[in-house]
Chain A
Amino acid sequence: GAVVSQHPSRVICKSGTSVKIECRSLDFQATTMFWYRQFPKKSLMLMATSNEGSKATYEQGVEKDKFLINHASLTLSTLTVTSAHPEDSSFYICSARNRGGTEAFFGQGTRLTVV
Chain B
Amino acid sequence: AQSVTQLDSQVPVFEEAPVELRCNYSSSVSVYLFWYVQYPNQGLQLLLKYLSGSTLVESINGFEAEFNKSQTSFHLRKPSVHISDTAEYFCAVTPIGSASKIIFGSGTRLSIRP
Chain B residue nearest to A31 in the complex (CB): B98
Residue among B34, B36, B101 with the most chain A CB within 10 A? B101
- Check A107 against B43 for contact (C-beta < 8 Å): yes
Verify A106–B98 contact, CB threshold 8 A: no
Which bucket holds chain B's interface residue count?
20 to 34
- Number of A residues near B (Cβ < 8 Å) is 30
CB atoms of A93 and B101 under 8 A apart: no
Min C-beta distance of A105 to chain B, whole Å: 8
A62 to B29, CA, bound (A): 26
Cβ-defined partner of B41 (8 Å) among A1, A32, A99, A111: A111
Of the candidates A4, A95, A103, A108, the one whose C-beta lies within 8 Å of that of B42 is: A108
Q: How far is the CA of A32 from the CA of B32 in the complex (A)?
A: 17
A61 within 8 A of B: no
Chain A: CB-nearest residue to B9 = A41
- A6-B43, A106-B45, A111-B41 known; A101+B101 contact, CB < 8 A: no
| 26 A-B pairs in the complex with CB atoms less than 8 angstroms apart | A1-B46, A4-B43, A6-B43, A42-B106, A42-B107, A44-B104, A46-B102, A46-B103, A49-B101, A51-B99, A93-B43, A95-B44, A99-B98, A100-B98, A102-B49, A102-B51, A103-B32, A103-B34, A103-B46, A104-B102, A105-B46, A106-B43, A106-B44, A106-B45, A109-B43, A111-B41
Residues of B at under 8 Å CB distance from A?
A: 32, 34, 36, 41-46, 49, 51, 90, 94, 98-99, 101-107, 109
